[in-house]
RNA sequence: GCCCCCAUCGUCUAGCGGCCUAGGACGCCGGGUUCUCAUCCCGGUAACAGGGGUUCGAGUCCCCUUGGGGGUACCA
C-alpha cells in the first residue's frame, strides 16, 4: 500500500508552498488508493506557535485535504505530534549509541560557530572533526549534570558516494565526505528534524516522500540514518520550488514587505492612526517601517485594510479572505509543477485526483502567477454549481463579517444566480452590500455622482425613472426591464443612460448586479426612497 | 566559497531524435456582445538562453558558458 504524509512544523498559518506539498502527497495517496498521514513536526520549541497546529488543520480542511491518520483522527501509528514521541526517539538514539554508530558531543553553540568560521575560508565546507575516543553514557550523564550541553552525532561513512534515487530528478550523486557527522539529538533532549523524520517515516510505514527541493540536500543524511538503523529507503520525489513574482521562493515575508512599500509610497498618512489600526504602538510601528521588526499577521492585515492596499496572498487563509474557492486552489496548486499530459487545465478536484501521478512532476521551478489564479477562480465559480457556491459564499461572508451574511438561503441563492461571471467571492460581496444597508446610509461615490447624476440630465432622467417605477403594479425583473427599456426608447437614448442614474441612486456606485434584479431585490419602497434621497441630496 | 538542482512565448506548460512551419492556457493587444462591473465570443502578438559536439536528422542526447533557484544550523 502506498503511504504518504505531510509533516508541517507548526510555525503559523499554512502557506501556499506548504499547501502544495500537502496536496501532492494527498493526491498521490488518493489516486493510488493509499493512505495519507498528517504529522506535526514540533521538535523545535522555539519555533512552535501554540495556535499554529489548529491553523494548519483548519487550512487543510478548507482545501479539502483530509488525512487517514493524524491529529484529531488518530490512527495505529500515533502519537502524531513528534513532541509526544520522545521515548521512541530515545530508544533508537540509545540503540545507535550502544552499537557504536553514534557518539556524544559536548561543544557549545559558540564553539561550533568558531570552528565553522575557521573553516569558512577552506576549500571543503565545514565538517565536524570526529573524536578519537568516544564519551561513555556515564560521562554524558556527568556533563549533563554539570549543565554542559550534550548532543549526539551520527557516524557517517566518509568514503562512499551516496546516490539518491529521485523520481523527478533521477540519480543524484553526492561525493564522499559531503555529509559530515550530523547531530541527531539536540542538547534539549529533542531529536533533530533529520532523525525524527527518518524514524517516523519508517514507523508509520511511509512509502513515498514527496517534499520540497530544499530537502534534496538532506536526503544523503537521511539515507545514512536509514542504513545505520536498518530501515528501508522510501521513494523520494523532490518537487520544484514555487517562486514569487519578486524572485526567490514564495515567502511569508512578502506581505509585510508589500505593506512597508505601500507605507513608504503613500504621502500624507497619519502614522498614529495607522499604528492604532494595527494595534501596535508608535515605536513598534517605526521599527517596522525601518525594517527592524515585523509585527504579527493580524497587525499587518489590519494596517493594510486601513490603508486600503491589497497585499499579495501567501497563506492559504489569505486566499480564502480574497474570495478564492478551495477548488481553485487545489486545481491551480496541482498545476504548479505537474500536468495531466493533455490540454486540460481547469479541472475539478475529482479530475485532478484521477489524473495525478508523480511521474509527471516537473523539474523546474515555477512562478506563482496570480493573474492566472484569478482566471481559474472565475472559471471554478462558473462551473461549481449554485448550491456549492452558495455554501462557500455563506462561509466567506460570515468570516469576513460582511453585512451580506444577513441574507437568508433563498436570498443567497438569488445573489449567486445574478452574479454569474464574478471573479471572486469578494466581488459578489462587494456588489451586493448595497442591499444590506439602510436607505439613508448609502455611501455615494463622489466620482459616480459627478459623472452620472450631475452630468447631462442624469437627475432629470432619474426623476422620470422614479415616476415610471412608482406606477409599476408588479415588481419583477422583467417588468422593471420593460419600464426602463421603453423609457429609453421614448427618449431616444441608450438603456445605459437610464440604468446608470438609477444604479447610482440605489447603490451609490456605478457597479452592481444587473439593474433589474438589483431593483427587484431592493424592493420598490426602498428603491423609491433611495431615489428621493439622491434627488434631494444632489438637486443643486 | 563549496555542494546540488533547473533552463521552450512575459507566465504556467506540451514536447520524451524525424509527426514542430514548436501546441494549449493565462496575460497582453485589437475587434464583437452587453444596463455598469465582470463574464462571454472572435482575431492577433509572442519562446526552444549562447556555444560546441553526437547523428542522415536535435527543442529533444552529451559537454562547456551564462542565467536562475536551493542547500551549506543543536530550523524544519
Annotation marks residue A252 as catalytic: yes
Nearest residue: Cα versus C1' of B74 = A186
Do A437 and A456 touch, CB atoms closer than 8 A?
Answer: no
Is the CB of A516 within 7 Å of strand B? Answer: yes
Is the CB of A8 within 7 Å of strand B? Answer: yes
Helices A52-63 and A326-334 cross at an angle (nearest 10°) of 90
Protein CA A241 to sugar C1' B46 (Å): 26
Residue A245: what pLDDT?
A: 76
Protein CA A376 to sugar C1' B39 (Å): 13
Where does residue A456 fall: left (phi above 0), alpha (psi -120 to 50 degrees), or beta otherwise? left
Residue A6: what pLDDT?
A: 98
Task: Kindly give the parts of chain A with pLDDT less than 50.
Answer: none
Residue with cell 417588468: A479
- Give yes or no for a cis peptide into A79 (omega within 30° of 0): yes
Cα A102 to Cα A93: distance, rounded to the nearest angstrom? 8
**Annotated catalytic residue: which of A252, A451, A463, A497?**
A252
- What separation in angstroms does the CA of A395 have from each of A321, A328, A374, A389, A426? 11, 16, 20, 10, 12
Total number of residues shown for chain A: 540
- What separation in angstroms does the CA of A266 have from each of A269, A278, A445? 7, 17, 22
Is the CB of A370 within 7 Å of strand B? Answer: no
Residue A199: what pLDDT?
A: 98
Cα A420 to Cα A4: distance, rounded to the nearest angstrom? 39
Parallel, antiparallel, or unpaired for β A208-212 and A162-166? Answer: unpaired
Closest CA to A162 of A146, A150, A176: A176
**A444, burial (CB in 10 Å: exposed 0-12, middle 13-18, buried 19+):** middle
- What separation in angstroms does the CA of A326 have from each of A4, A140, A204, A461? 21, 51, 29, 44
Task: Name the nucleotide with the smallest C1'–CA separation from A382.
Answer: B39
Protein CA A36 to sugar C1' B6 (Å): 29
Cα A147 to Cα A489: distance, rounded to the nearest angstrom? 91
Q: Is the overall model pTM greater than 0.90, yes or no?
A: yes
- What separation in angstroms does the CA of A138 have from each of A89, A134, A135, A141, A146? 20, 11, 8, 5, 12
Protein CA A365 to sugar C1' B65 (Å): 22
Do A403 and A437 touch, CB atoms closer than 8 A?
Answer: yes
Cell of A417: 444566480
Is the CB of A198 within 7 Å of strand B? Answer: no
Is the CB of A178 within 7 Å of strand B? Answer: yes
The 3-state DSSP class for residue A84 equals helix
Is the CB of A172 within 7 Å of strand B? Answer: yes
Protein CA A123 to sugar C1' B65 (Å): 23
Is the CB of A151 within 7 Å of strand B? Answer: yes
- Strand B bases, protein C-beta under 7 A: 1-8, 10-15, 23-28, 34-40, 68-76
For the CA atoms of A322, A372, A214, A348, the dihedral, rounded to the nearest 10 degrees, stands at 80
The 3-state DSSP class for residue A152 equals strand
Residue A249: what pLDDT?
A: 76
Amino acid at each position: 500500500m502506498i503511504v504518504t504524509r505531510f509533516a508541517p512544523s507548526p510555525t503559523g498559518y499554512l502557506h501556499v508552498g506548504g499547501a502544495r506539498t500537502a496536496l501532492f502527497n494527498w493526491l498521490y495517496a488518493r489516486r493510488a488508493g493509499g493512505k495519507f498521514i498528517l504529522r506535526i513536526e514540533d521538535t523545535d520549541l522555539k519555533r512552535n506557535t501554540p495556535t499554529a497546529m489548529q491553523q494548519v488543520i483548519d487550512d487543510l480542511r478548507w482545501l479539502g485535504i483530509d488525512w487517514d491518520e493524524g491529529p484529531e483522527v488518530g490512527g495505529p501509528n500515533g502519537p502524531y505530534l513528534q513532541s509526544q514521541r520522545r521515548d521512541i526517539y530515545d530508544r533508537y538514539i540509545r540503540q545507535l549509541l550502544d552499537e557504536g554508530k553514534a557518539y556524544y558531543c559536548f561543544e557549545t553553540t559558540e564553539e561550533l560557530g568558531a570552528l565553522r568560521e575557521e573553516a569558512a575560508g577552506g576549500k571543503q565546507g565545514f565538517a565536524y572533526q570526529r573524536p578519537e575516543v568516544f564519551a561513555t553514557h556515564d560521562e554524558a550523564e556527568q556533563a549533563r549534570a554539570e549543565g554542559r550541553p550534550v548532543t549526539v552525532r551520527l557516524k557517517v561513512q566518509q568514503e562512499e558516494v551516496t546516490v539518491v534515487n529521485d523520481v523527478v530528478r533521477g540519480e543524484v550523486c553526492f561525493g564522499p565526505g559531503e555529509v559530515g557527522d550530523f547531530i541527531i539529538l539536540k542538547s534539549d533532549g529533542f531529536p533533530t528534524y533529520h532523525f525524527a523524520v527518518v524514524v517516523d517515516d519508517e514507523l508509520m510505514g511511509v512509502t513515498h516522500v514527496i517534499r520540497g527541493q530544499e530537502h534534496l540536500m538532506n536526503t544523503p543524511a537521511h539515507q545514512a540514518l536509514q542504513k545505520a538503523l536498518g530501515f528501508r529507503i522510501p521513494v523520494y520525489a523532490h518537487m520544484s520550488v514555487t517562486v514569487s513574482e519578486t524572485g526567490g521562493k514564495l515567502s511569508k515575508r512578502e506581505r509585510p514587505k508589500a505593506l512597508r512599500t505601500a507605507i513608504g509610497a503613500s504621502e500624507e498618512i497619519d502614522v498614529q492612526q495607522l499604528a492604532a489600526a494595527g494595534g501596535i504602538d508608535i515605536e513598534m510601528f517605526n521599527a517596522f517601517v525601518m525594517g527592524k521588526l515585523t509585527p504579527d499577521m493580524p497587525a499587518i492585515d489590519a494596517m493594510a485594510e486601513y490603508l486600503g492596499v491589497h497585499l499579495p496572498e501567501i497563506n492559504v487563509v489569505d486566499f480564502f479572505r480574497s474570495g478564492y474557492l478551495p477548488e481553485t486552489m487545489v486545481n491551480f496548486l496541482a498545476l504548479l509543477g505537474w500536468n495531466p499530459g493533455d490540454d486540460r487545465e481547469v479541472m475539478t478536484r475529482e479530475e485532478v485526483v484521477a489524473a495525478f501521478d508523480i511521474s509527471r512532476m516537473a523539474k523546474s521551478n515555477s512562478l506563482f502567477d496570480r493573474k492566472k489564479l484569478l482566471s481559474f477562480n472565475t472559471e471554478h465559480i462558473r462551473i461549481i454549481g449554485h448550491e456549492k457556491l452558495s455554501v462557500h459564499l455563506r462561509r466567506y461572508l460570515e468570516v469576513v463579517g460582511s453585512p451580506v451574511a444577513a441574507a437568508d438561503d433563498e436570498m443567497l441563492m438569488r445573489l449567486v444566480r445574478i452574479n454569474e461571471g464574478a471573479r471572486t467571492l469578494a466581488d459578489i460581496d462587494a456588489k451586493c452590500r448595497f442591499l444590506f444597508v439602510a436607505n439613508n446610509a448609502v455611501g455615494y461615490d463622489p466620482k459616480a455622482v459627478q459623472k452620472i447624476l450631475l452630468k447631462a440630465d442624469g437627475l432629470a432622467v432619474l426623476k422620470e425613472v422614479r415616476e415610471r417605477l412608482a406606477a409599476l403594479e408588479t415588481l419583477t425583473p422583467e417588468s422593471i426591464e420593460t419600464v426602463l427599456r421603453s423609457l429609453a426608447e421614448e427618449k431616444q437614448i441608450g438603456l445605459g443612460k437610464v440604468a446608470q442614474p438609477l444604479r447610482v441612486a440605489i447603490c451609490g456606485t456605478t457597479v452592481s448586479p444587473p439593474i433589474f434584479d438589483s431593483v427587484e431585490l431592493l424592493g420598490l419602497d426602498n428603491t423609491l426612497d433611495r431615489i428621493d434621497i439622491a434627488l434631494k441630496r444632489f438637486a443643486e
